[in-house]
Structure 1
Amino acid sequence: MGDQQNIGKCPVMHGANSASGQSVTGWWPESINLDILHQHDNKTNPMDEGFEYREEVRKLDFVAINRDLHALMTDSQEWWPADWGHYGGFMIRMAWHSAGTYRLADGRGGGGTGNQRFAPIASWPDNASLDKARRLLWPIKKKYGNKISWADLMILAGNIAYESMGFKTFGFSFGREDIWHPEKDIYWGAEKEWLAPSDERYGDVEKPETMQNPLAAVQMGLIYVNPEGVNGQPDPLKTAAQVRETFARMAMDDEETAALTVGGHTVGKCHGNGDASALSAEPEGADIVGQGFGWDNPNMQGRASNAITSGIEGAWTTHPTKFDMGYFDMLLDHEWELKKSPAGANQWEPVDIKEEDKPVDASDPSIRHNPIMTDADMGMKVDPTYRKILEDFRKDPERFQDAFARAWFKLTHRDLGPKSRYIGPDVPDEDLIWQDPIPAGNTDYIEEVVKEKIAEAGLSIGEMVSTAWDSARTFRGSDMRGGANGARIRLAPQKDWEGNEPDRLAKVLKIYEKIAADSGASVADVIVLGGSVGIEQAAKAAGHDILVPFAPGRGDASDEMTDAPSFEYLEPLADGFRNWQKKDYVVKPEEMLLDRAQLMGLTAPEMTVLIGGMRVLGTNHGGTKHGVFTDREGHLTNDFFVNLTDMAYSWKSVGENLYEVRDRKTDQKKWTATRVDLVFGSHSILRSYAEVYAQDDNQEKFVRDFVKAWTKVMNADRFDLEKLQAA
């Protein structure tokens, strides 16, 4: 009874402020959670209102911070000693694991937000001891303060580490803004335990391409593949197949994958010299006295050589603090046999090697140890394609170094967005196709003349608005790709996407391309202006004179500027805003709507008002009438919300994701709807927004809010307008 009495006298709700506490909505797990739309609310941000990191970082002393990072690399700290007195390999691993979570399917992950500081990533088994790497950087972060984000600093540290070990990197850009809360919208897998068998995320683990989308890593808590082999069972050919699929899902081809593997393992070492079970819990599960540290090693004894992370133990090359060609000679010129590390992990060691070719101990240079290879390294040796690439690299060191420099740059900058967002003195001059280059657009034309030509072209409001929406909806705030700028909707693969209604799109684009040619405007600008014309006409029909804000200057990309295969991943499989999905999925339509809205950077109120407006404007895919709760289609009214909340109607399921809205008195069908429509009446939070827009005194607010949200979508990829967007 004593413990119960103490709990009863606790001045706060017992357990309510810990992760084990029951959330207020936890009783209803099937209810959609809107938190993903608001997770980086300003309330989590400690910076002053109006603070703009991308402006602040331009004031950074770039020379001084590079000098300080160079000095850090060889300033071994007693509390966490450096391997061979050099932190280079450690910092590279931190930067790599920060950037390496990126996946092409949804653009999420990557090093662009500094999310390695937070759960779950900070406590992944694959990130063991990286808490120490970030703490080593703290004096530099403290010194330069607001002028350097953690996101930039972690990637920059990896770059400087390579430079300090003799490698010339391709370049670097600042500009990554920190988040201040875990990114809960990122799906890392459904497993409930670390390193659960990878079978759980494959249709068939023997077929890597059957890995569940949008995942790229093979097991929960890993960045890429299991270094010991598929499910920890060594088989280099099988591991090579997983490596190929995993890196492809990060937008890397075979040559880039091989270059990254070699370049990453040319320096540093693996750590597994001891009993892994002796380590304490990961940071998120560690005791409060750890002060953010996890994986405490009671057997470390101040020696770098006693560290344990992956469990594999040893260096890949003879000189692991020097960037050289030693990896090729070591891997390709030796026979390898399977061994066990001191921690019990599977690793490969050479059958025969000269003593002088062995790397020295990380703490005692008088001792030498066998080099090691992981199963992924052995995959490079036995897979015919990777083997050929490595042989070619070895024959041409300059080609290898260029390939690795470019691949490392791509790995660490992929989610930063287009080159127009790059900041700093080391930004490369070269335009790279994965940066989705777009030529500068013309602003020397008369906007009103273009709008008049569009209005006279005979297009419907639905055609004009839908085309603009389809062009802009591809934007992903996760990696700053897609959007209306570039007018890639007229190029492969976008022009043929089912969601873009190719026949309707071709008709509209033919008209727009002539208007663009006659006026000097880009097709991209004409597409967006077409949406403005449609909205302004619909608002006027509803009794509201409005002008949709417009910023000229979009450019038109060409096929040569477009990496078509990577754009395939941007194809919408569902668009709740146009009440369409390609087929039935396990995921509910309303959940797919949330995912799309989050990628586009929309809040829940913005999502709500856009849905209501798009329905009455007649933008449904294929012209369906689902959710068109109005008798005045083509008028920008709040009818969707008025009729959704009107108790004169009842609702009945009549098929898979199909419902009828019926008159309660006559039982006559009035309208049809989908789950995406009805969720705005059934979900308590969404209904509260719907009721706001249904009010008699909020018709003008509805139009005003719709135009504001619409403009946000149209300008989401206008990074030259960042100040305007922030305002």
Structure 2
Amino acid sequence: MDNKQSSAGKCPVMHGAMTSSGQTNSDWWPNALNLDILHQHDSKTNPLGEDFDYAEELKQLDVEALKSDLRTLMTESQAWWPADWGSYVGMFARVAWHSAGSYRLSDGRGGGGAGNQRFAPLNSWPDNVNTDKGRRLLWPIKKKYGNKISWADLILLSGTIAYEVAGLKIYGFAFGRKDIWHPEKDTYWGAEKEWLAPSDGRYGDVDKPDTMENPLAAVQMGLIYVNPEGVNGQPDPLKTAAQVRETFARMAMDDEETAALTAGGHTIGKCHGNGRAEDLSPDPETADVEYQGIGWMNTKGRSIGRDTVVSGIEGAWTANPTQWDMGWFEMLFGHDWELKKSPAGAWQWEPVDINEEDMPVDVEDSSIRLKPIMTDADMAMKVDPIYNGICQKFMQDPEYFSACFARAWFKLTHRDLGPKSRYIGPDVPAEDLIWQDPIPAVDYTLSDADITALKTTILASGLSVAELVATAWDSARTYRGSDYRGGANGARIRLAPQKDWEGNEPDRLQKVLSVLEGIQAGFGKPVSLADLIVLAGSAAVEKAAQDAGVDISVPFAPGRGDATDDMTDAASFDVLEPIHDGFRNWVKKDYTVSVEELLLDRSQLMGLTAPEMTVLIGGMRVLDTNYAGTSHGVFTDRKGVLSNDFFVNLTDMAYNWKPAGKNLYHIVDRKTGDVKWTATRVDLVFGSNSILRAYAEVYAQDDNQQKFVKDFVKAWVKVMNADRYDLK
């Protein structure tokens, strides 16, 4: 056979190599541990470079000029995407809302804090239809102010200014959100394989909203909150009320905040459904290059003005949809309502009887009046007795309603910005809010001599290296970079609910805290317990390193405060409770997710890279910090010494590895057949996964004991200081 082939017509590159159409490692090995989540915001994706400092850029921002430009934009209708009634207030309120509204309290992921709405999947969620138009309307302003304003800040500020232009007295606004440059594609938004699939799969029982799968909050794939037509698209306001309550609770809102946001969110703007969804062009991520990232254009009509299609529901909620007023309440509670179908075929509620002069006018022709509408979620506010009672209170005191909405809007748009110390700008409210997890500032300093004296006293206290390290770790491990909550600052580990968490080993914790409190009382000058807990762990790491033959000083930065019970919203801290900690080889119970996947989730929330995760695991094992003192993975005969023994013995082919029960393995000497050690999946994955093994082999090398210690200390300090925003 002639093996010579003509090159004519042959593609010069590998098919699929540069698009998503090619087979990936995940396609070939779907059960392999995917470490991408630990590197999803690699600095190589950032066009601004590692030296870019957004906080410094913000100092140059003319905030008043920016706000003035946004106010002007609100009423400057653009021909390519005309404003409803000549005003974009509804548009930008929705763009900002849908950016912030993906936040969920359970793991802190989602939200508007990173400008993630620019990327898939959020930019193409069915619920985010036409938010792409809002971002394009903002582009001239982003272009003008450049690096001085992030997309994340600009999007949320636009919504706040929209409400201000409509007539609301806003509560405040803070800058400080840094943009990401790559989608957070590894965030779990649900297991569904199609948009808006029936929600039953998310629930143990769809009629019991609290059975929704964690960490999810939205009721269907591609929605921000609930289905506006009703549960699974079937109108039933009482059932919808139950879903609204659970969903908003999972987004950190109570009943009053939920009612205020529902009413205030629908006081301005309208729903769009004057056309068929099947006539729309593809979503932004699917659309071909000629669309330039713009999706959902109505191919059978003008696509703009009255021909716009978004939710499929068609109509405004109030008679004055560009003004902040009590119109939503007057409309909802002033009429009886009946179910109708929109032109797009969506269920919506319309008034049984209404005077023409009370109807909103058409978005393009003010001589035409159209019936107002309500969604099933709006009707839920009327039929649910708790929501109804709150709405009655709002109707009796419009100023109270406006104040409640302004504060709830501020919370919605700032919940994932973290503590107040991260807030930047002239409009930051002076008030400390409980959901900001306030911590008192310290007014003391510690000299090098003070720190040395405290270390000496701690190490002579009778507490073991393992006890000191585990306590410091437990205090710091609650940190999550998703919404900047948790961490060692505040020493909330000594307060409810953290002091009683199973994963914190309350008896051991109280033993250590009692000793440290005694040291604090006898020191002779102020020092917070938060600082003392971290210093104690660091002193123990230093000692363990010295016992391994490596002299090293663990950097320590004092300045942590001690929070009090009245500064702690105990209920909202429940979600920070660890149900697993691979670093201490503990899992609360059996989960459908593997323990190694749980480890990746925790590591990503803590902001760790795969190498940092690896070196911390090896160090924590030999320091003997396992939960309840188990020996699983403690591959050393020198417990409490910061050696690289974990990696040396993990990679030693003198041993064999045999399953010995649920998440338990025996490490067997090949010559004698004796069980040398025991291990869990978390331990053995560092030898079985090809990437993690490559890291493990680095630390197992004969010439890398010192490197191991230095890298462990660096990663340790990163964890201890994760919530020290004053150091960044």
Q: Does 1:566 find its partner at 2:564?
A: no
Name 2:521's counterpart in structure 1: 517
Name 1:627's counterpart in structure 2: 633
2: CA distance, partners of 1:73 / 1:592: 45
Q: Does 1:464 find its partner at 2:468?
A: yes
1:524-563 counterparts in 2 under 5 A?
524-563=530-569
1:118-267 counterparts in 2 under 5 A?
118-267=119-268
Query: Following TM superposition, by how much is the alpha carbon of 1:442 offset from its aligned partner in structure 2, in angstroms?
Result: 4.1
3-state secondary structure, aligned to 1:583:
coil
1: CA distance, partners of 2:485 / 2:269: 33
Name 1:685's counterpart in structure 2: 691
Farther off after superposition, 572-581 or 271-280: 271-280
Contact 1:442 1:555 in 2 (8 A): no
3-state secondary structure, aligned to 1:26:
helix
3-state secondary structure, aligned to 1:337:
strand
Q: Which amino acid aligns with 2:611?
A: P
Name 1:586's counterpart in structure 2: 592
Contact 1:442 1:554 in 2 (8 A): no
Contact 1:636 1:703 in 2 (8 A): yes
1: CA distance, partners of 2:545 / 2:302: 73
Name 2:650's counterpart in structure 1: 644
Q: Does 1:655 find its partner at 2:661?
A: yes
Farther off after superposition, 326-335 or 467-476: 326-335
Name 1:666's counterpart in structure 2: 672
3-state secondary structure, aligned to 2:416:
helix
Residue of 479, 491, 513 corresponding to 1:487: 491
1:65-464 counterparts in 2 under 5 A?
65-301=66-302, 303-445=304-446, 446-464=450-468
Query: Following TM superposition, by how much is the alpha carbon of 1:398 offset from its aligned partner in structure 2, in angstroms?
Result: 1.3
Distance 1:442 1:635, change over 3 A: farther
Scaled by the length of structure 2, the TM-score of the pair is 0.98
Distance 1:709 1:8, change over 3 A: farther
3-state secondary structure, aligned to 2:472:
helix
Q: Deviations over 1:22-80 (max 9, x none)?
A: 01342111111011001111111100330011221121000100000000000000000
1: CA distance, partners of 2:135 / 2:127: 15
2: CA distance, partners of 1:302 / 1:343: 13
Contact 1:499 1:573 in 2 (8 A): yes
Q: Which amino acid aligns with 1:330?
A: M
1:684-723 counterparts in 2 under 5 A?
684-722=690-728
1: CA distance, partners of 2:7 / 2:112: 45
3-state secondary structure, aligned to 1:283:
coil
2: CA distance, partners of 1:641 / 1:275: 60
2: CA distance, partners of 1:301 / 1:7: 44
Q: Deviations over 1:334-353 (max 9, x none)?
A: 10000010111000000011
Structure 2: which 5+ residue stretches go unaligned? none
Contact 1:485 1:555 in 2 (8 A): yes
Query: Following TM superposition, by how much is the alpha carbon of 1:513 offset from its aligned partner in structure 2, in angstroms?
Result: 1.5
Contact 1:443 1:552 in 2 (8 A): no
Residue of 475, 478, 481 corresponding to 1:474: 478
Query: Following TM superposition, by how much is the alpha carbon of 1:544 offset from its aligned partner in structure 2, in angstroms?
Result: 1.1
3-state secondary structure, aligned to 2:554:
coil
Q: Which amino acid aligns with 2:456?
A: E
Residue of 505, 508, 512 corresponding to 2:509: 505
Contact 1:442 1:522 in 2 (8 A): no
Farther off after superposition, 46-55 or 36-45: 46-55
Q: Which amino acid aligns with 1:460?
A: S
Query: Following TM superposition, by how much is the alpha carbon of 1:302 offset from its aligned partner in structure 2, in angstroms?
Result: 6.8
Query: Following TM superposition, by how much is the alpha carbon of 1:20 offset from its aligned partner in structure 2, in angstroms?
Result: 2.1
Q: Which amino acid aligns with 1:501?
A: E
Distance 1:300 1:514, change over 3 A: farther
Contact 1:415 1:479 in 2 (8 A): yes
Contact 2:297 2:303 in 1 (8 A): no
1: CA distance, partners of 2:533 / 2:591: 31
Q: Deviations over 1:319-343 (max 9, x none)?
A: 0000001111110111000001011
3-state secondary structure, aligned to 2:59:
helix
Name 2:608's counterpart in structure 1: 602
Distance 1:707 1:301, change over 3 A: same
Structure 1: which 5+ residue stretches go unaligned? 723-727
3-state secondary structure, aligned to 2:668:
strand
3-state secondary structure, aligned to 1:416:
coil
Q: Percent identity?
A: 73
2: CA distance, partners of 1:481 / 1:570: 8
Q: Deviations over 1:304-333 (max 9, x none)?
A: 121100000000001000000111111011
Query: Following TM superposition, by how much is the alpha carbon of 1:447 offset from its aligned partner in structure 2, in angstroms?
Result: 1.4
Contact 1:516 1:522 in 2 (8 A): yes
Scaled by the length of structure 1, the TM-score of the pair is 0.98
Name 1:615's counterpart in structure 2: 621
Q: Which amino acid aligns with 1:359?
A: P
Q: Which amino acid aligns with 2:716?
A: W
Q: Which amino acid aligns with 1:121?
A: L
3-state secondary structure, aligned to 1:285:
coil
Q: How many residues align?
A: 719
Q: Deviations over 1:347-376 (max 9, x none)?
A: 000001111110000110000001000000
3-state secondary structure, aligned to 1:701:
helix
Query: Following TM superposition, by how much is the alpha carbon of 1:275 offset from its aligned partner in structure 2, in angstroms?
Result: 2.1
3-state secondary structure, aligned to 1:449:
helix
Q: Deviations over 1:673-719 (max 9, x none)?
A: 00000000000000000000000000000000000000000000000
Query: Following TM superposition, by how much is the alpha carbon of 1:5 offset from its aligned partner in structure 2, in angstroms?
Result: 8.6
Contact 2:120 2:185 in 1 (8 A): no
1: CA distance, partners of 2:6 / 2:431: 70
Name 1:725's counterpart in structure 2: none
1: CA distance, partners of 2:334 / 2:298: 36
2: CA distance, partners of 1:378 / 1:469: 48
Query: Following TM superposition, by how much is the alpha carbon of 1:514 offset from its aligned partner in structure 2, in angstroms?
Result: 2.0
Contact 1:7 1:14 in 2 (8 A): no
Q: Deviations over 1:254-293 (max 9, x none)?
A: 0000000001000000000122211111111112100001
Contact 1:524 1:556 in 2 (8 A): yes
3-state secondary structure, aligned to 1:387:
helix
Q: Which amino acid aligns with 1:711?
A: V
Query: Following TM superposition, by how much is the alpha carbon of 1:8 offset from its aligned partner in structure 2, in angstroms?
Result: 7.3
2: CA distance, partners of 1:13 / 1:301: 41
Structure 1 segments, 4+ long, off by >4 Å, are: 4-8
Q: Deviations over 1:483-526 (max 9, x none)?
A: 00000000011000000000000111111122223331100000
1: CA distance, partners of 2:53 / 2:304: 42
Q: Which amino acid aligns with 2:563?
A: A
Contact 1:482 1:717 in 2 (8 A): yes
3-state secondary structure, aligned to 1:697:
coil
Q: Which amino acid aligns with 1:632?
A: R
3-state secondary structure, aligned to 1:146:
helix
Q: Which amino acid aligns with 1:164?
A: V
Contact 2:303 2:309 in 1 (8 A): no
